[in-house]
Amino acid sequence: MDAAEKTGKKGARAARGMLLAEQEYERPILRYLDEQGGRAPSREVVEAVGAALADRLTARDTQQLKSGGIRWEKRAAFVRLRLVERGELARNSPRGTWEITDKGRERLRSHDI
What is the residue type of 79? V
List the chain pLDDT tens, one digit each, 113 residues.
444 444 445 546 666 678 999 999 999 999 999 999 999 999 999 999 999 999 999 999 999 999 889 999 999 999 999 999 999 999 999 999 999 999 999 999 997 66
Looking at residue 13, its pLDDT comes to 67
What is the residue type of 59? A
Angle, CA of 25, 29 and 33, to the nearest 5°: 175
What are the structural domain ranges in the chain? Answer: 20-110
Rounded CA separation 15/2 (Å): 7
Which of the listed CATH numbers 3.90.470.20, 1.20.1600.10, 1.10.10.10, 3.40.1010.20 matches domain 20-110? 1.10.10.10
DSSP bridge pairs for 40 = 98
By C-alpha distance, which of 78, 63, 51 is closest to 12? 63
Residue 4, class by beta-carbon neighbours within 10 Å (0-12 exposed, 13-18 middle, 19+ buried)? middle
Looking at residue 18, its pLDDT comes to 84
Rounded CA separation 50/29 (Å): 10
By C-alpha distance, which of 95, 82, 68 is closest to 29? 82
Rounded CA separation 26/101 (Å): 14
